[in-house]
Amino acid sequence: MFRTPIKHCRNCGASVIYRVPDDGDTRERAVCPACVTIHYENPLNVVGTVPYWGDKVLLCKRNIEPRWGKWTLPAGFMELNETTLEGAARETVEEAGAQFEMEDLITVLSVPGVGQVHMFYLARLTSDVFDPGHETIEARLFSEDEIPWGEIAFRTVRETLERYFEARRRGAFEVHNLDIR
């Protein structure tokens, strides 16, 4: 199980049980036997950017688990009351302290095994000076042949970087919808 099972009802605090609700549902849910609240669990959105400067992209060395010390694109969980684009921009500021202009979406990656959807936007850097936050050990630019492919933190980041450099070579950017299983 990739997410900790729900133990207590969010409404009344009673212990829940996992069962298929009686309303025609087909999946097991955490159902409260006391107040009958059904707790629906759905995928989380991870939003981020491919910040680029000329022929280089900005990667951040992670100062947090999981994958401490591995390189990633700036990305994180979307917050309530923000759009995907706002979340991606926020993460880029928080993790890299970068200055940039947000551009088009480049990848949408479903990761059903962990119940997540990752979305990456292009971000055109307007400065090559970075001020990374506490989640980042180091933020620096890499050309394609400098990318530490064996040290990339997540497969969604590797797939996005591959699509980005391929699009650059072709001179044509489009949205890639990918399934990571």
Smallest distance, Å, CB 38 to Zn ion?
A: 10
Q: How far is the CB of 40 from Zn ion (least distance, A)?
A: 14
By CB atoms closer than 10 A (0-12, 13-18, 19+), residue 45 is middle
Is 32 one of the binding residues for Zn ion (CB under 5 A)? yes
Under the criterion CB under 5 A, does residue 17 sit at the interface with Zn ion? no
Task: Considering the complex, state which of residue 37 and residue 99 has its C-beta at the smaller distance from Zn ion.
Answer: 37
- Position 22: which residue type? D
What backbone phi and psi angles, to 5 degrees, belong to 142? -130, 135
The amino acid at residue 15 is S
Shorter beta-carbon distance to Zn ion: residue 20 or 35: 35
CB burial of 14-33 (b: ≥16 within 10 Å; e: otherwise) equals: eebeeeeeeeeeeeebbbbe
CA distance 57 to 114: 27
Q: Is residue 139 near Zn ion by the rule CB under 5 A?
A: no
83 binds Zn ion (CB under 5 A): no
CB of 36 to Zn ion, least distance (A): 7
Count of residues that interact with Zn ion, criterion CB under 5 A: 8
3-state helix, strand, coil in the chain (%, to 5): 20, 35, 40
Which residues lie across from 52 on neighbouring strands? Answer: 57, 124
Residue 40, phi then psi, degrees to nearest 5: -90, 130
Per CB under 5 A, the list member of 17, 20, 34, 175 interacting with Zn ion is 34
> Which range of residues in 14-22, 38-46, 53-61, 79-87 is near Zn ion by CB under 5 A?
14-22
Given 8, 12, 68, 82, the residue binding Zn ion (CB under 5 A): 12
**Min CB(8)–Zn ion separation in Å:** 8
Q: By C-beta, is 14 or 17 nearer to Zn ion?
A: 14
Binding site for Zn ion (CB under 5 A): 9, 11-12, 14, 32, 34-35, 37
